[in-house]
Every structure is written in C-alpha cells, then in structure tokens.
Amino acid sequence: MKKILNYINGEFKAPLQDEWIDNYNPSIGEVYSLIPNSSTADVQNAYEAASQAFPTWSETPLEQRSRILAKIASLITENLEQLAKAEAIDNGKPLSLATSVDIPRASTNFQFFADAITQFSSEAHESTGLNAINFTLRQPIGVVGCISPWNLPLYLFSWKIAPALAAGNTVVAKPSEVTPMTAYLLGDICTKAGLPKGVLNIIHGLGSTAGQAIIEHSGIKAISFTGGTTTGAHIARVAAPMFKKLSLELGGKNPNLIFADCDYDTMLDVTIKSSFANQGQICLCNSRIYIERPIYEKFKKDFIAKTKALKIGSPLDNNTNIGALVSKPHLEKVKSYIDAAEQEGGTILCGGDYVNVKGHENGYYLQPTIIEVNDPNCRLTQEEIFGPVVTIMPFDSDDEALALANNVRYGLSCSIWTNNLNRSMHLAKYIQAGIVWVNTWMMRDLRTAFGGTKDSGVGREGGFEALRFFTEPKNVCIKY
C-alpha cells in the first residue's frame, strides 16, 4: 500500500516510530494509503531543520524568494490534473471542483504572495519638532506553525504557507490527517522549484499528537490555524502562556438573507452553491437561509426543485455535483443532526438520507437536505453541521433579519440579497461577521482581509494582513 511520508529538511522521511494511520478514500469507504503517525520527535526534527534554514532564508533577497514562490505556483498549475485527482480521491469532492477551484487557487495563493511581498513596505514617521525620525522594521518571526483542515486541503494549506514563506519565515506545517495527499505532493514540487532544504517542513499525523507537538513547541513562535472552534480554543489555551502570535480561522454558521426585491434567478443559482458546494463543507457556506415572507413559498418550491436536481455520485464522474463526505465519523455526525430535525421542531423538506451510489456502496454519500425550522434557537440553526444541510425560515422586516443573522455565537460571513442600497449598507454595517457579501457569495479578492469575529476566530489573513501577521514590527527611532 502506498505510504505518504513526512517532508523534513527537503527529504521524504518515514516517521521515527514507524507507526502509520489508515487513509481512506471516502468515495468507496476503503483504505488506500498509509500516513505517518508522527510523534513529538518527528516534529522536533522538522523544527531543527526549519530553525537551521531560517537565518539564510530570512536574508534571501525578496526577488529570489518571490521567484521561488512563483515557480511553486507554476509547477502546481503544470501538475493540475494529478493534484486535482489526488484531492478528489482523498477528500471526496467532485473532480470538477478540485480542477476549477481548489488547485488553481492553491497556485494563485503562491503567485499572489510571490507578488505581494515585493510590494509590502513599512511606515516611517517624522516626529515633527523633535528632530527625530521613526521607522518600522517588519522582520520575519522565525519558525512558524501552519495547521490546516480537511475541507479545502491544498487551498487552505497554501493560503498559510505562502505568506509565511514570502515574509521570510521557515515553516513546520501539518495538513489534516484525513486529507494528507496533496500536501505530500507539494513537498516534491517545492524541491523542484528550488526551495532550500528545511524552509518548509511537512509533518503528517494526528492533531492530538503531531498537531499538539507543534503548538506546544516553545521554539515555534507563531501559529496560523484553520479548523474547528473547539480546537481553536484549545490551541489558544496552550499557546497563551508562551505568548505565541496566533491567527485562528474557526467555524461558521453563516446567514443568507434573501429579500423580496433581489435579482431572484441569480440569487437562486448562487444559493444552491452557497448551500451545497463541496457537500456543504466550506466554512463560508450559508447554512441558515432567511427569506422575506412575500417570496417565501416561491423560494421554497424552487429551491427544493433545484436541490433535487443535483447529481450525487462518484467524485471522478464529470456530471457529479455532490460527492462524498470526507469521512465516516463526519458523515454520521451530519446525519445525526438530520435525525434530530423533528425533535428540534424542524420539517425535512427534501433529502435527509444516505445515498447508495452504484459501484460505490460503501462510500460516504448523503442527500442535500433542506429543513424548515420555526425556532431560530434550535440546535439546527445554532450549531455548525458542516455538511449538505441547510435550514430555511421566513422573516418580516429588516430588523428581524438582522436579529436572526446575529443570533449565533459565530461571525464568519454573511450574504445579503437585495437591490436596495440603503438596506444593504445598513445591514452590512450592523451584521456581526468578518465578511459581508451583497448579491454574491464567496467572491474573493485575495487583497482583502479574511477572517471572522465572535467564535469564528481572531486575526485576519489575506493580502498584507497575512504579511503583517507573519512579521514582527519593530520601531526604530533616530534622533538627529
């Protein structure tokens, strides 16, 4: 069986204790590779390699760093087909999605930060009347830790690694144990791109051991983490006494506010995507849909019809809209919410069952599910389900829509569908979220600040925000 290996000091290495974890193909429910069950000792080796590489990498001229990152970007594009297939098999997502979104975006992440670092500059302030000038040095932090989840594997892994490297840090990174394959393939790409040994080290293994060793390591001075809110809170507790710099991108329970005056057809098309893209496993998915009452019944009918038309099947089939969920435990967790729907006062309007895909009988398939709810405080509208499950509910006024939108512990993103400029401006101002989309969803300009408020995290990534996170500002004051 194929073995995935750690990438330490530019070389592929088996875990020191020779322990391995099964890696499942979720579309068929079978183990298809083994990944290292890395220990603290493996993380220590990765740390030492990163630590040794830091002085040279941090002094490498920007143009050279930028050229290497751009080369990684172009090699990802050259290997698009192989990487997209690997992602679809490892994660269960449709190959068409991996080909059109995940892998191109991973390449763009490297290219974006290859360019951004050449434009990143710091401030200078003349202290008028004091004959002094202040300027800010933006220095790389040292060895940093990047930990990413399974839903958009290479996309989110590269979203952290690219700015960390661009800013001159060296990295110990861990992808999710559930989706390690494209991170493994990235190691070879980095070598081919000429990334010096030890600058990027990729450790595979469990969050509770390998991940824990990264966050506990006193030499790793910053952690960029994307994942669940509970894990984020744990990381914050471990890191706080060591005063590590933290960027936490956590869970979401995002509202989709649909007003009667919206551009209906566009809204419906995009709402299908914002509900069920990637089997609903995107932190930005809008899982709580609130609809203004005059169009509620029409929306309900049309939304159900469009949802029923989605094709559930093998990720590798070109016609598939909905692939497999990422793992059996996750499938069961999502299904348990559907099973609790009635008890929570909800009515399942469509979907709700497992799907038996011919030839893939043991795969983790679930119907896209719409649940009508009447209680905005029920578990279905309060807890992150992170699967192809949405709730719908009508509202009667702008104030009610705003109150419903803000009635959760999370604050990642939101969509508002209306052609009323005053309304969208008012709501955008008062909605508690890091990102507000008006008449769209998941439209990303990589220069913008990305992140959440409330229990969706702290800190921002994206553009210069990411470069600020991965550098330490130092004030220098010169009296003349």
Count Cβ atoms below 10 Å from residue 424 Cβ, excluding itself. 18
Residues contributing to the site for ligand NDP (CB under 6 A): 147-151, 156, 174, 176-178, 206-208, 211-212, 215, 226-228, 231, 234-235, 249-252, 283, 384, 386, 412, 452, 456-457
Q: Which is nearer to ligand NDP, 16 or 62 (CB)?
A: 16
Least distance in Å: CB of 465 to ligand NDP? 13
- Alpha carbon distance 343, 408 (integer Å): 20
Check residue 322 and report its DSSP letter. B
The backbone torsions φ and ψ at residue 152, rounded to the nearest 5 degrees and listed phi first, read -130, 75
- Asked whether 181 and 152 are in contact (CB, 8 A), the reply is no
Which 3 state secondary structure label does DSSP give 70?
Answer: helix
Least distance in Å: CB of 282 to ligand NDP? 7
* All residues at 6 or more sequence positions from 242 whose CB lies less than 8 Å from its CB, including other chains: 218
Strands 2-3 and 30-36, by their bridges, are parallel
Residue whose beta carbon is closest to ligand NDP: 207
The encoded tokens of residue 326 equal 């990422």
Least distance in Å: CB of 453 to ligand NDP? 11
Count Cβ atoms below 10 Å from residue 9 Cβ, excluding itself. 17
Check residue 360 and report its DSSP letter. B
How many degrees, rounded to 5, is the angle at CA 414 between CA 409 and CA 418? Answer: 140
Least distance in Å: CB of 77 to ligand NDP? 23
Strands 124-127 and 132-140, by their bridges, are antiparallel
Task: For the chain, give percent helix, strand, coil, nearest 5.
Answer: 40, 25, 35
Which 3 state secondary structure label does DSSP give 137?
Answer: strand
Least distance in Å: CB of 230 to ligand NDP? 7
Q: Which is nearer to ligand NDP, 282 or 401 (CB)?
A: 282
- Alpha carbon distance 464, 480 (integer Å): 31
Strands 389-395 and 288-292, by their bridges, are parallel
Give the burial string for 296-316 (b: 16+ CB within 10 Å, else e).
beebbebbeebbeebebbbbe
In the residue annotation, 350 being an active-site residue is answered as no
Catalytic hit among 87, 177, 249, 461:
249
- Alpha carbon distance 44, 452 (integer Å): 32
Least distance in Å: CB of 317 to ligand NDP? 25
- Asked whether 4 and 34 are in contact (CB, 8 A), the reply is yes
How many degrees, rounded to 5, is the angle at CA 456 between CA 144 and CA 183? Answer: 40
Least distance in Å: CB of 235 to ligand NDP? 6
Least distance in Å: CB of 228 to ligand NDP? 3
In the residue annotation, 249 being an active-site residue is answered as yes
The encoded tokens of residue 417 equal 């569908």
Catalytic hit among 262, 283, 285, 414:
283
* All residues at 6 or more sequence positions from 76 whose CB lies less than 8 Å from its CB, including other chains: 83, 103, 106, 107, 110, 154, 158, 186, 189
Q: Which is nearer to ligand NDP, 95 or 412 (CB)?
A: 412
Count Cβ atoms below 10 Å from residue 332 Cβ, excluding itself. 14
**Catalytic residues, which ones?**
249, 283
